[in-house]
Amino acid sequence: MTVTGFDLAILGSGFGGSLLAMVARQLGLRVILLERGSHPRFAIGESTSPLANLLLEELAAEYDLPRLMPLTTYGPWRRAYPDLTVGLKRGFSFYRQEVGQPFRPDPERQRHLLVAASPADEVADTHWYRSEFDHFLVREAQSLGVEYLDRVAIDAFARAGEQSELRGTRGDRPFACRARFVVDATGPRGALSRLLGLGERELTGYPNTQALFTHFVDVARYEAIAGKGGEAPPFPPDDAALHHVFDGGWMWVLRFGNGVTSAGFAAVDALASELGLADGEGAWRRFLRRFPGIQPHFADAVPVLPWVHARRLGFRSAEVVGPGWALLPSAAAFVDPLFSTGFPLTLLGIHRLGRLLGLRPGTDAWEAGLRRYARQTTREALAAARLVGACYAAFPDFPRFAGLSMLYFVAASYSEMARRLGRGDLASAFLLQNRAGFRRAYRRHCRAARQGSPPEPAAVAAAIEPYNIAGLCDPAKQNWYPFAG
């Protein structure tokens, strides 16, 4: 089977590949979307943020994709697509856990942090139940005229003149596809990384980590275990991206509306080896015994999918673009999702590739745009890696970790406001890396943490004060930050 005549071939039909296919189709391009497996299928990466949803909203408006607009907030999603599973995310919840100790809230709230992202459920962020969400987007792409083929295994890539050729099999038959340009949306160490031998480069400052995760039912709500500390929190801590942090790693707990909960933990290699992550359920049991503050959370929980052991989380491709091809940010680099950075990074990449695909391939503007896209993608991945690596170093000192986390929350809230006011130029790079003053403070404090001296929260607050539009970094709030927008 040979298919030809396409302007764009996209490898991988996760949310990024399907969204890019829709954008390209709305630009008038002939698009084919190729999937190695078939839908519905499990995928990790499930938690949005205000910036991610704003970027999705902008794509829907700019490319006339009105059916995407309800997916940008919880209330409209539930009304428009009641059969499409979604989770409620009111913000970020963090709890510090100690080996061998139950969790005990303290009056000054020095062992937990809550940061609201919305004032109410109606306009809240979401957790995407990816098996259904990705399948929905594939069907939306097909409805716009995108050609979609599944069960396609690509084992060769070649460039001839102005055409890229992909060869492999579909089912048990030979398959070939020709297109003017190819985008890889298959994730870290994905199709083009393997086919072109792109190699890897270091994610500077980010430790070697592994992860173990799956989906569960019957996960207890943590607020009933941890208590409320004598007053009502700014939002229910479980209606959020809930994190447990500990020396050497952290855990995520994300609830969906169908009773399923996504949960897992990331750990530096030494801790992962001690727990024996390759054992799957055995490692999970050892982890829960190690942290009695988490164990009641999962006392009655039952896994409903196979265990996944990710042997290496961090990834950065040595190359991002080349003759006739480019990697989506999700295929170019990966940093574990401590602050839900994967979605906005990918959506920023789709915005940039959308503008590039509107140009004529091979022109000076096209080539310059490709180089710029590669630089932006790499710089933003490295920025995310710096912060997450710094937070790993700060986990043992929770107040300093909480202070360091304000680098993310201040940058995110500033970026969101700038875009809503039509001043996206003020926050054109992820984590405000385009603002020299913020970037210098960001790098200085992250470097200090990685070198073993996490900064005092007051030092972080002073350095980023000009960008703190959301009332963060306030000691009087004792680590509970209601929505301020």
For the chain, list the domains and their CATH numbers. 2-72+129-202+316-373 (3.50.50.60), 86-128+207-310 (3.30.9.100), 397-481 (no CATH)
Interior/surface letters 94-122, b for 16+ CB within 10 angstroms, e for the rest? bbbbbeeeebeeeeebebbbbbbbbeebe
CA–CA separation, 437 and 464 (whole Å): 8
Q: pLDDT tens per residue, the chain (485 residues)?
A: 888 889 999 999 999 999 999 999 999 999 999 999 999 999 889 999 999 999 999 999 999 999 999 999 999 999 999 999 999 999 999 999 999 999 987 778 899 999 999 999 999 999 999 999 999 999 999 999 999 999 999 999 999 888 999 999 998 899 999 999 999 999 999 999 999 999 999 998 899 999 999 999 999 999 888 875 567 899 999 999 999 999 999 999 999 999 999 999 999 999 999 999 999 999 999 999 999 999 999 999 999 999 999 999 999 999 999 999 999 999 999 999 999 999 999 999 999 999 999 998 889 999 999 999 999 999 999 999 999 999 999 999 999 999 999 999 999 999 999 999 999 999 999 999 999 999 999 999 999 999 999 999 999 999 999 999 999 999 999 999 998 86
Q: What is the pLDDT of residue 228?
A: 58
Q: Is 459 exposed, middle or buried (0-12, 13-18, 19+ CB in 10 A)?
A: middle
Q: What is the pLDDT of residue 485?
A: 66
Beta 2-11 vs 91-96: how paired, if at all? unpaired
* Residue 243: strand, helix, or coil: strand
Residue pair 442/387 in contact (Cβ under 8 Å)? The answer is: yes
Q: Is 338 exposed, middle or buried (0-12, 13-18, 19+ CB in 10 A)?
A: buried
Q: What is the pLDDT of residue 230?
A: 65
* Ramachandran category for residue 100: left, alpha or beta (phi over 0 → left; psi -120 to 50 → alpha): left
Residues in the chain: 485
Beta 147-149 vs 333-334: how paired, if at all? unpaired
DSSP string, 36-54: SS-SS------B--HHHHH
Residue pair 211/44 in contact (Cβ under 8 Å)? The answer is: no
Dihedral sign of CA atoms 234, 240, 244, 248 in order: negative
Biggest CA–CA distance in the chain, Å, is 69
Residue pair 345/384 in contact (Cβ under 8 Å)? The answer is: yes
Number of Cβ within a 10 Å radius of residue 429: 16
Selection from 481, 479, 457, 463 nearest residue 471 by Cα? 481
* Residue 82: strand, helix, or coil: coil
Residue pair 102/292 in contact (Cβ under 8 Å)? The answer is: yes
Residue 23 has, within 13 A of its CA and on its CB side, a CA count of 27
Q: What angle do CA 69, 15, 1 make, to 5 degrees?
A: 125
